Amino acid sequence: MKKGSCLCGKTKYQITGEIGDIVHCHCTTCRKAHGSAFSSVAVVHDADFQLESDLLNSFESSAGKFRYFCSGCGTQIYAKREGSAHIILRLGSMDDHPDAVEKSHIWVSQKASWYTLNQNLPEFSEFETDS
């Protein structure tokens, strides 16, 4: 079993089954919804996803596709298409390691112009000030 939660802690979930391959989505709606360069997501079957929340809200970002988020803190939790038997989990909300593998970058045609794929940038383990 793997766990996830929102920033304020009032939305929690458990996953009892398999988490699908990880996809990094660069579409404009993901960028807006997450306020970031891209959104990392994976499919989880409905039966394997148990949600506990009093504060979940949703936004229909395209016809029949709803993005669910915690209305207490704004954390994106999952998206779902009407009639589908799975959710599209937002991996940034996970507390545990998903035990899934990265598969692809999608919607690169809508990628942020200021983000470069496969760029070798310096890495710091924590915040790095200009000094």
CB of 125 to Zn ion, least distance (A): 27
State how far the Cα of 60 lies from the Cα of 11, in Å rounded to an integer: 20
Sign of the CA dihedral running 127, 104, 20, 114: positive
Q: Is residue 27 involved in binding Zn ion (CB under 5 A)? A: yes
For Zn ion, how many residues bind (rule: CB under 5 A)?
10
Closer residue to Zn ion (CB): 47 or 108: 108
Nearer to Zn ion, 30 or 43 (CB): 30
Q: Work out whether 25 is an interface residue with Zn ion (CB under 5 A).
A: yes
Q: Which is nearer to Zn ion, 2 or 34 (CB)?
A: 34
Nearer to Zn ion, 107 or 121 (CB): 107
How many angstroms separate the CA atoms of 7 and 107, rounded? 27
* Buried residues in 37-73 as b, exposed as e (16+ CB within 10 A): ebbbbbbbbeebbeeebeebeeeeeeeebebbbbbbe
Interface with Zn ion includes 15 (CB under 5 A)?
no
Looking at 45, 66, 72, 81, which residue binds Zn ion (CB under 5 A)?
72
Query: If binding is defined by CB under 5 A, does position 6 make contact with Zn ion?
Result: yes
Q: Is 100 in the site for Zn ion (CB under 5 A)?
A: no
* Distance separating alpha carbons of residues 55 and 64, to the nearest angstrom: 21
Residue 127 tokens read as 């915040």
